[in-house]
Amino acid sequence: MYSLTNPASSYSVEDCEFPIDYDAAMEMRERIFLARTKAGLTQDELAAAVGKTRGAVSQWESGEVRPRHSTLLAIANATKRTITWLESGIGEKQTGLKVVGEVAAGIWREGTVEYVPFGVPVAPHPDYPVEAQRLYQVRGNSVNKSVADGEYVHCVAVESGAIFPENGDLVVVTRTKHGTTEYTAKRYVIEDGKKILRPESTDSAHQEDIEINGDDDTVIQIVDVVVAKWKPFRRPKS
C-alpha cells in the first residue's frame, strides 16, 4: 500500500490493490439484481415476496431509489442472502476495513444525512489498532496531488489516541458551520508557529490555505490521519 505519511510504510502497493472480483465493488442496485436473478425470481415475483410493486423493484435495480432497511431485510429473506451482503457486498466470513464516509471539498451536508458504511477487502495497517482504522472515499479533485477521485484514503482516527497529526501529514478534516459539515483532506503544515491546512490539489478552486483555529462561524477539527491510500482496479475481461 502506498504510504502518505512521513515515515516509511511497511506496506507495498501490491498488499492492498485487490482486483475487483468481489461483490463490494458492486453498487447496491447491482447486488439486488444479482440476488434476484440468482434466486430465479422475476421482478414481479420479488415484488410480491416483499409486498412492493414491480415498478419499485425496477427502481431499486436502476439505482433510482434506495430501499429502506426494512425492505432490504425482506429482499434478503426472499433471495436467501444476508443483509450484510446486500448492504455492503461483504460476506459474513470475509474481513476488511469499512468505508465510513466521503471526503469532498466544497460539499456541505446537514448532520441528519446518514452515510451507510460498507466493507472493502483492505488489510489493517500493522502499526495501529485495527478498531481505530477506517477508510473514506475521495470525491472530486480537491486532493488530486495525492489521491484521485474515486480512490480511498486509509486512516487512523485521532480520537482513538493511537495517532496524532504531525507536520507534513495528510489529514481528514471536518469543518462545521450552521448545522452543516464538510469532510475534506488537507496537508497539515506548521509554519511560523501557525497550524495550517494546505490543499493538495491542482484545481484553482482549491488553493487557499486554512488556519486551523477557524473563525467565529466555522469549527475545524482534524479527525483522522491518513496512513495510506487504496485503489481498486478491474481485471481485464478475457
pLDDT digits (tens, 9 = 90+) for 34-80: 999 999 999 999 999 999 999 999 999 998 998 998 999 999 999 99
- pLDDT of 212 over the 90 cut: no
For residue 102 the three cell numbers come to: 466521503
Helices (H), 80-210: 83-88
- pLDDT of 15 over the 60 cut: no
- pLDDT of 16 over the 50 cut: no
Say which amino acid occupies 163: I
CA–CA separation, 217 vs 214, rounded Å? 8
Q: With beta carbons less than 8 A apart as the criterion, state whether 138 and 230 touch.
A: no
Q: What angle do CA 139, 141, 144 make, to 5 degrees?
A: 110
CA–CA separation, 135 vs 157, rounded Å? 10
The per-residue pLDDT for 7 is: 37
pTM equals 0.62
Indicate the helix (H) or strand (E) that contains 196: strand 194-198
- pLDDT of 20 over the 60 cut: no
Give the CA-trace dihedral at 199, 27, 124, 236, to 10 degrees. Answer: -90
